[in-house]
Structures are given as structure tokens and as C-alpha cells.
Amino acid sequence: MSALAHYLEDEGVPTVAISLIRLHTAKIGSPRALWVPFELGRPLGAPRDETFQTRVITAALRLLEAAPGPVVLEDFPDDDPTAIDLPGWQPPFDLMAGALETGNRATLEHALGQEVLAIAPFYERFVAANRRTTIGLSGLAVDECVGFLAAFLAGSPPASPDPAVSPVQALRWAVDDVKAYYLEAMSADGAIPSSRQMQSWFWDRTLAARAIIALRRQLLASDDKRSQAIGRMTLVPGAQVLRLGLQ
């Protein structure tokens, strides 16, 4: 981000960067930056909080006119008010996945499909209220995504839906879409728990998460370096690898 700022500024375009990792911004020397003490992934802080977001943007943009150069790094004083756990939060449905049986593709696909079906009304409620979904990277419907996962887990990787990308790359995007489906369904009632609460619930209680963890294990055992990299880096968040004690 700071390097992009340097290149733009060098071409004569004034910039101000929001910084989530102060250390990197300070190292590179972004022309103007506002460091914010928020989680990675939320440079404006609180979702659905117009007042808070506007405060952050205003603090950043004011650096365009107020601060002397050539390197300005200021700190935003307040934390994201939605970063704390919501006491007693539960999603608007309950799940407690049993053991994952990966040997038979049809059985596995059916089990995953049943879980997807069970939370469909909540996903649809979220989309209706939010007027958007972030599912769409794979180009597959969510039931097709879990079918794709099941085929991989059963040892018969399917053809990629996009011939220009490898099946394992397509798998990563299908996993992204499955995770988005669950997390959006979990948000159907409008409550805003911490991301930590939502992630813990997803990774502890859903069959989909068990399938993704099993896929990670499978890809890590592969002889193919690209599959190993996708398994290691892009299926399970590092914080969950740590929390769940995954190898």
C-alpha cells in the first residue's frame, strides 16, 4: 500500500494511505498515512457504522491538506467498537457437526449438502437484508461448491469449471465461497459479534469446516508443490491453525 502511494505520488497524484500494519508503513515511508488500530481486513473499522467510518476517512483525508511532508504518519485514536465479543452471541441457527466421513463421495456430498440446505433460509435472509452477497469467486452455486469439495476429498478431483485455472485453484475459490455462505448466514439476524466469535463458531461446529480442514491435510500430503502451497496458505486462516492446533 505504501509503495503504491510512493509510485502515485511520484507521478504527481497526492495520496493518503490507511495503514493497518504500522511497522510496514513506517519502513517504506508512505507520503501520508493514517495508522488505524483495527483488525486486518477492516481499514475503516466498524461495519454499518457510518459515523465511525466517516471519522476515519475524514481523519485520513485531512492529512492531504494539513500535514507538512515529506513523510507523515499519524495514529487514529479509537478502536473499532465492534471488535469486542458480543456477550452470549449465537448465530440464528444451531449446528453441531458429527464426524466427517471422506471415503464415499456421494455420502459426503449428501452430508455437506444437507448442512448447506439447513442454513439456506438464513443465507437468503442475509442477502435480502444486505442486498448483496460476496459469494461468486468460483462461479459455482454453493451446492456445486460443496460437491467440488466432496469430489476432492473422495480422491477424485473434478475438472476445473474454468479451463484456464487448475482444479486446485478452483478448489480454493470454492472454499472461499463456502465460507462466505456460512458466515453470511450466521449474520442473518443483524447482530454484529466479533469476527473472532464468528470464526470460532464456524470452525468448531460445522461439517463444512471439517471438510476444509481435511482438504488442507490432504493437500499438504500431496506431491504437488502448488497443491501444498494452497493447502498450507489459503484454506484455513493462520489464527485457526494456531487455535485448533493443526499441523
State the minimum distance, in angstroms, from the CB of residue 180 to another protein. Answer: 6
- Compute the distance between CA of residue 36 and CA of residue 197 in angstroms, rounded to an integer: 22
Among candidates 104, 103, 107, 219, which has minimal Cα distance to 172? 219
What is the number of alpha carbons within 13 Å of residue 4 lying toward its C-beta?
Answer: 7
Residues 170-189 that bind another protein (CB under 8 A): 173, 176, 179-180, 183-184, 187
Among 77, 96, 99, 131, binds another protein (CB under 8 A): 131
Location of C-alpha cell 452470549: 88
State the minimum distance, in angstroms, from the CB of residue 194 to another protein. Answer: 9
Pairing relationship of beta strands 72-75 and 32-35 according to DSSP bridges? parallel
Kindly state whether residue 132 participates in binding another protein, applying the rule CB under 8 A: yes
- Residues that bind another protein (rule: CB under 8 A) add up to a total of 86
Among candidates 150, 140, 156, which has minimal Cα distance to 107? 150
Q: Residues near 131 by Cβ (< 8 Å), separated by ≥ 6?
A: none
Among 15, 102, 206, 227, binds another protein (CB under 8 A): 15
Closer to another protein by CB, 35 or 152: give it.
35
Closer to another protein by CB, 98 or 245: give it.
245
The site map against another protein for 137-156 (x = CB under 8 A) is: x-------------------
Contact status, residue 188 vs residue 126, Cβ threshold 8 Å: yes
Among 146, 149, 209, 236, binds another protein (CB under 8 A): 236
State the minimum distance, in angstroms, from the CB of residue 24 to another protein. Answer: 6
Contact status, residue 51 vs residue 158, Cβ threshold 8 Å: no
- Reduce the DSSP state of residue 157 to 3 states and report it: coil
Question: Residues, the chain, total?
Answer: 247
Among 59, 76, 82, 168, binds another protein (CB under 8 A): 82
The site map against another protein for 87-126 (x = CB under 8 A) is: ----------------------------------------
Location of C-alpha cell 466517516: 54
Residues 189-218 that bind another protein (CB under 8 A): 192, 195-196, 198-199
**Omega before 91 within 30 of 0, i.e. cis:** no
Among 45, 91, 147, 231, binds another protein (CB under 8 A): 45
